[in-house]
Each structure stands twice: as C-alpha cells, then as structure tokens.
C-alpha cells in the first residue's frame, strides 16, 4: 500500500517559528492536508528552535511540536520527522570537537524520543548528507572543506561522525520508529569529474556499508525536470538501481525498505546559466500539474517492485510555497515554487492533480513529454570523460590533500559490526 505524504515544514507556516503563530496557522494546514487526502506528513524538527542555547530547552516550542504531532495522529496522519537545523553552538562544537557535538546530538535525540518519539513512524537524522550544493542555501553540511581562493570546496566526508549520528538515533528512538537515511540522487550531471563520493550511488553504498545496522529505510530524493533538468517525469533510474540493490545479498542495501523521501517539481520561472537556460523547456504551474500527472503513476509502479519494503512511502515536496522567499542566486528561486499551494494560500493546478492521484484517479496522458539535456550537462559529461582518462590527477592531489577520498573505491566496503 502506498503512503502518500507531503512535506510540511513549520517555517512555511511561520518563518520566525514563533510558537503562537505556528499554533494559529496549524488548523489551516490540517484542512489543506485533509483536502489533499494524504496519509502522512514529513515535518522538520528544528534543533535550533528546541535548544537555542546549549543545555536549555524552549518549552513553548516543545509544547507546539507535541500538540501538533498529537493532532496529526488524531487525524490519522503518519509522521516522518526530520532531525536537522542544528543551532550555531552545536555547529561550533562540531568544528572544535566532534565528540562534544555527538554528545549534544544524543541529548537532542533523547529529548525528541522522550517527548514525542512514540508518535513518529519515521525519523531521519540530518538531511541529504551527500548534498555538496546545500551550502548555497545556507544549510548546515557535514564535509571536510578546503578554501581555494574565495571558494570553499567540500573535499571529503567525516564518515565516522556521520555514521555516529545514525547509531545514536537508533539507540535512543523507540524500536517501532524506523530510522531513515536519505540521499539526493540527481547531483552527478552537474559534476565535470569522476570523483567517488560525489556520485550519489557511491556515497550511499559506502555509507550503508558503515551504518547498515542502524538504518531501517533508505529514502531517495529525486527531482527529475527540476534539479535534473530536461530528464522528464518518467526518469526514475534511481528507483531501478535501488530495486536491484535491495535484492542483492552482496549489497549493503539488501532487504532494506526503499522510499521516495522527496519528490517534486518547481514552478519557478526559467533563468540563464551563462549562455544557456537552466531549464531546457517551458516552466510554470501548468507544466507542474502535467508533470505530477505523469510522474506519480510511474512511481507507484516502480515501488511495487520492492519485495522487502515494509511501506511504499512517497513524500512530495512541498505543501506550501515559503512566506519568506530565498533570495540571491537565481537558482535559489527554484526553492520558492515547489509548493502545491501558493504563499497566498491559493491552490496551484497541481494540487488537484495530486488530489486525484491519491484518490486513485490517475490521468492518462498519451502525448510524449519532450526531454532534452541542458547544454551545461553535456559539458560536464565531457569533463567526466576527460577526467577519467587523466586520473590520477596530480593537480587535484595538490589542490585537495584529501583527494584520496575522491578516488573510486570497491562498490561495497566491508561493513562495520
């Protein structure tokens, strides 16, 4: 059975995360969820909102989360919680002493488990730990970095710290609450080099080999035609690949539940990247509805091929457009238009399309969807081919001392016990 879910980030209800404002906005959000017909919601639990100072808890925020989750459960909604958004003091601990950071993480997880762990179906530590572009949005990231001129580059992964987050979460959370690892599956075409962990499959294989005992569910975040421009709504190669891994006894994915943690389409307008458009086709709210009508039946069909899945969970990103838009680079504007509902609380055409799909009324659209790679993807592919011929790269080794982490490795490293 498919669990249809939608992202409901509290900062889309109130960007300041004021508990009273959140409380006033919640009934309207629940009304939209009921109209949409979803059976689940993914909700960010903001670490910095619950523990703004080291050793202190914001009791008003704690009460809001407790009441919000209780109301969601009363309405029959399953809850997929994202444990993320660390406070500045925690990120400083990470920089100064990772062991102290992990102690603080355990305190945070214990607070969540004791206060509302019994109401959570899924819990996800961190968010897209392979997403090396997340820093553009100002999101906290877990990477070794190196500054080269004015640019700070991710050059490696602190695997021990990353896996410890999941080990701690699994130890602290109730057994019935499943621990989720999510990975962003559409970064590779942007990369002009063949660099190990920068490839999402390689990253996920290595992580799962290390953290296998503490992960119950693998969530794929994939955005064909948005963060994977020009690929079309039927491009779900990541699910095909995952289906093979889930039945392969040699794979660290073996017998794990695989879900879609984030899937969506941004109705943002097109913009230029150098001499080319970022998106090769027409954008807007009408193509967004058309995209969902084509993508959702395909997703359901592919998830049915996972024999070990304990649930077929499809989480759509996002219910609301943000009240306070991201500004800066034009690419950030993409994040402002994923919502099925505009920031003035009127519904986009895609809302009705998703509502019908959840009710089992899938559209039949025989006309083909035009797919075309953007020019910069083709340039990056040429770069990867050249890079593969030139390895090992003395230039890369000189610029990035940790470049050994970027080299290809065996697909399934030895699992930790």
The pLDDT tens digits of the residues spanning 11-43 come to 999 999 999 999 999 999 999 999 999 999 999
Decide: 154 and 144 in contact? Cβ < 8 Å. yes
Integer-rounded Cα Rg, in Å, for the chain is 21
- Dihedrals φ, ψ of 410, to 5°? -55, 145
Say which residues have a Cβ less than 8 Å from residue 59's Cβ, sequence separation at least 6: none
By percentage, how much of the chain surpasses pLDDT 90? Answer: 67
Domain spans of the chain? 2-406
**Is the overall model pTM greater than 0.75, yes or no?**
yes
Contact present, 315 and 261 (Cβ < 8 Å): yes
Binned at pLDDT 50, 70 and 90, residue 404 comes out as: very low
Cα(367)–Cα(145) distance, integer angstroms: 46
What is d(CA 212, CA 206) in angstroms, rounded to the nearest whole number? 10
pLDDT of 280 reads 84
| Preceding peptide of 392 cis, ω within 30° | yes
Q: How confident is the model at residue 416, as a pLDDT? A: 38
User: Is there a contact between 320 and 339 (Cβ–Cβ < 8 Å)?
Assistant: yes
Query: Which residues in 100-134 are b (16+ Cβ under 10 Å) and which e?
Result: ebbebbbbbbebbbebbbebbbbbbbbbbbbbbeb
Judged by average pLDDT, the poorest of 70-84, 141-155, 341-355, 398-412 is: 398-412
Question: What is the average pLDDT score of the chain?
Answer: 88
Q: Among 7, 77, 50, which residue's Cα sits nearest to residue 262?
A: 7
Higher pLDDT, 187 or 201: 201
* Of 36-45, 113-122, 178-187, 268-277, minimum mean pLDDT range: 268-277
For residue 147, what pLDDT is reported? 81
What does the pLDDT read at residue 276?
80
What 8-state DSSP symbol labels residue 229?
A: T
CA nearest neighbour of 260 among 175, 182, 366? 182
**3-class DSSP assignment, residue 144:** strand
Whether the predicted pLDDT of 406 surpasses 50: no
Alpha helix ranges (H) inside 236-374 = 237-246, 285-303, 349-358
Confidence of residue 334 (pLDDT cuts 50, 70, 90): very high
Q: What is the pLDDT of residue 278?
A: 85
Rounded average pLDDT over 206-219: 97
CB atoms under 10 Å from CB of 22, counted, come to 22
d(CA 212, CA 417) in angstroms, rounded, equals 9
pLDDT at 401: 45
Architecture category of domain 2-406 in CATH: Alpha-Beta Barrel (3.20)
């Amino acid at each position: 059975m498919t669990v249809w879910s939608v992202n409901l980030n509290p900062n889309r209800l109130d960007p300041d995360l004021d508990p009273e404002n959140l409380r006033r906005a919640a009934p309207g959000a629940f009304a939209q969820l009921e109209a949409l017909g979803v059976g689940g919601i993914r909700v960010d639990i903001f670490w910095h909102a619950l523990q703004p100072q080291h050793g202190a808890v914001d009791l008003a925020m704690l009460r809001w989360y407790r009441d919000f989750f209780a109301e969601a459960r009363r309405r029959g909604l399953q809850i997929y919680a994202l444990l993320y958004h660390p406070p500045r003091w925690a990120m400083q601990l990470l920089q100064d002493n990772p062991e102290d950071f992990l102690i603080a993480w355990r305190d945070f997880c214990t607070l969540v488990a004791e206060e509302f762990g019994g109401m959570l179906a899924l819990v996800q530590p961190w968010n897209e730990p392979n997403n090396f572009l997340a820093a553009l949005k100002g999101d906290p990231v877990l990477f070794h970095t190196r500054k080269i001129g004015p640019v700070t580059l991710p050059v490696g992964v602190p695997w021990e710290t990353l896996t410890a987050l999941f080990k701690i979460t699994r130890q602290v959370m109730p057994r019935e609450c499943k621990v989720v690892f999510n990975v962003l599956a559409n970064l590779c075409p942007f990369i002009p080099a063949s660099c190990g962990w920068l490839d999402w499959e390689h990253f996920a294989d290595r992580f799962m080999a290390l953290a296998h005992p503490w992960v119950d569910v693998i969530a794929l975040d994939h955005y064909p035609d948005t963060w994977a421009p020009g690929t079309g709504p039927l491009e779900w190669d990541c699910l095909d690949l995952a289906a093979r891994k889930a039945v392969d006894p040699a794979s660290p994915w073996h017998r794990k539940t695989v879900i879609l943690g984030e899937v969506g389409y941004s109705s943002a307008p097109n913009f230029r990247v150098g001499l080319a458009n970022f998106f090769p086709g027409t954008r807007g709210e009408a193509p967004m509805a058309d995209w969902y009508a084509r993508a959702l039946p395909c997703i359901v069909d592919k998830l049915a091929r996972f024999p070990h899945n304990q649930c077929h969970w499809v989480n759509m990103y996002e219910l609301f457009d943000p009240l306070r838009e991201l500004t800066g680079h034009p690419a950030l504007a993409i994040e402002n238009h994923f919502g099925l509902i505009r920031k003035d609380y009127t519904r986009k055409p895609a809302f009705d399309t998703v509502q019908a799909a959840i009710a089992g009324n899938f559209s039949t659209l025989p006309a083909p969807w035009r797919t075309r790679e953007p020019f910069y993807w083709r340039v990056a592919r040429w770069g990867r081919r050249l890079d593969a011929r030139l390895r090992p790269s003395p230039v890369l080794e000189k610029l990035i001392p940790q470049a050994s982490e970027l080299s290809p490795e065996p697909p399934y490293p030895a699992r930790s016990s």
